[in-house]
């Protein structure tokens, strides 16, 4: 999960499956504001990062997340153009970016892990067409 504050600062947040109980909204909505407390802060160690922040938040059993009034209408998108993506350095490839384009193809749903655990994940691969 990626969290953004009212200044646009992004930070990754990890929500282990055993810490997603009663203290969270049933279906958190993208773009909505939430007040979060009782979490751990650790150096960032995710293989794929949603932010360049040196730390990440780790939610735990005490973490509470409650709806909060909207602080700003900005969506804080940081879109990257296609040439920059195609010419990304190895360091830049470690970070997720926002991009706008037309979906040209979508693959069938694949499985990253298959073992009946909470870590099982599905994925699709899609091709975007540059609209610039």
For 61-110, the pLDDT digits (tens) are 888 888 888 777 666 777 788 888 889 898 888 777 778 888 899 999 88
Tally of domains in the chain: 2
Domain of residue 91: give its range: 82-129
> 44 and 91 share a domain?
no
**What does the mean pLDDT of the chain come to?**
81
The closest of 39, 34, 35 to 60, measured between CA atoms, is 39
- Are 51 and 101 found together in one domain? no
Asked whether the whole model's pTM tops 0.75, one would answer: no
Same domain? For 7 and 59 the reply is: yes
75 is a domain residue: no
User: Are 39 and 63 a contacting pair, CB within 8 Å?
Assistant: yes
């Amino acid at each position: 999960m990626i969290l953004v504050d009212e200044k646009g600062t992004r930070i990754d947040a990890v929500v282990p499956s055993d810490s997603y109980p009663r203290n969270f909204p049933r279906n958190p909505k993208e773009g909505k504001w939430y007040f979060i407390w009782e979490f751990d802060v650790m150096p960032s160690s995710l293989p794929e990062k949603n932010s360049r922040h040196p730390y990440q938040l780790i939610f735990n059993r005490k973490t509470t997340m409650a709806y909060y009034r909207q602080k700003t209408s900005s969506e804080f998108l940081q879109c990257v153009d296609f040439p920059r993506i195609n010419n990304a350095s190895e360091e830049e490839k470690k970070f997720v970016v926002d991009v706008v384009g037309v979906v040209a193809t979508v693959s069938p749903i694949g499985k990253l892990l298959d073992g009946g655990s909470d870590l099982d994940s599905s994925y699709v691969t899609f091709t975007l067409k540059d609209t610039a």
